[in-house]
Structure formats: C-alpha cells, structure tokens
Amino acid sequence: MGRLFLDANVPTYAAGRDHPLREPCMEVLRLAARHPRTFSTDAEVLQEMLHRYLSLRRWPEGKRVVLDFAALMAGSVEQVTAEDAVRACDLADRYAMGSGARLAARDLLHAAVILRAEGSPARIVTADADFDELAAEGIERLDPANMVAWIGQIE
C-alpha cells in the first residue's frame, strides 16, 4: 500500500493555539519525522498554508510553520500536473455540484494528486471529514484524532 498523504490542517493544527486536535496532529508530524518515506503531500498543500497565514496576517508564525513542514516533507512533495486538474474537474462534476456538496476545489485537487501518485486505495491524514465523500474513489480518510485506529498501517 502507498504512502499516507498529509493535508494542510495537520501542520496547521499542530502549530496552532490550544485545540483538541493540536496534540494528535503534533503526534502525526512526529510519526512522519520517524517514517519519512511513509508520508507525502503536494505543492497545493504548501500553497494553501502560505495563503492561510498571509490572509490571516499571521505571517511571522506562518512562515515558521510552512518552512518546518516543507523541511519535514522534503523529497515527498508531489507536483500538481495538468492531468491532476483534469481529474479534479471530473471529481467536481461528481462530488461538488450537487446540493449539499462540501468538497472545496483544493480538496478535489488533493484527491486527484493522491489518486495519480498512490493509486487506489489511497489514504489521507486529515481532520476534514469532507474527504469521507471520496470513499467511493478509493480514498480513505485517516483522522488524526483517531490515530490508534490506523497507526498499524505505517510501513
């Protein structure tokens, strides 16, 4: 089975203020540091983090978070390709156009990258329950708050 994809909310919660997900996300990052070849992310996650901290005007803190995460993931950052954009459009047709659709464009792009890079089944570590909608695509969401349920999948 392939690598575990880390979503932007993992390093963001880990570096953030007191929150129930802070410690579980910190533990996920410690796990990624111990098993670097087991985890991946994509360039869009880094862009998402840059955007978040700049838009919140919390750049001094955000710069540290982005640089630390980029260093942790060095060599494991997937590029975003034209093929990924095409697949994300297909996913948008199926998952983002109906009433009650919750998946954001960046989530669909992450899903496309994951499916290209890892195939199906694939796994994403994220607190974002919207990814549960992609189970039919072969994407399994691993909740940082429930790490005990999936830590045995670490290779």
Q: Quick: pLDDT tens for 3-18.
A: 999 999 999 999 988 9
Per-residue pLDDT at 99: 61
What CATH code is assigned to 4-147? 3.40.50.1010
What is the model's pTM?
0.93
Angle in degrees, CA 7, 11, 16, rounded to 5: 130
Per-residue pLDDT at 73: 97
Q: Residue 77: which of 45, 119, 40 has the closest Cα?
A: 40
User: What stretches in the chain show pLDDT beneath 50?
Assistant: none
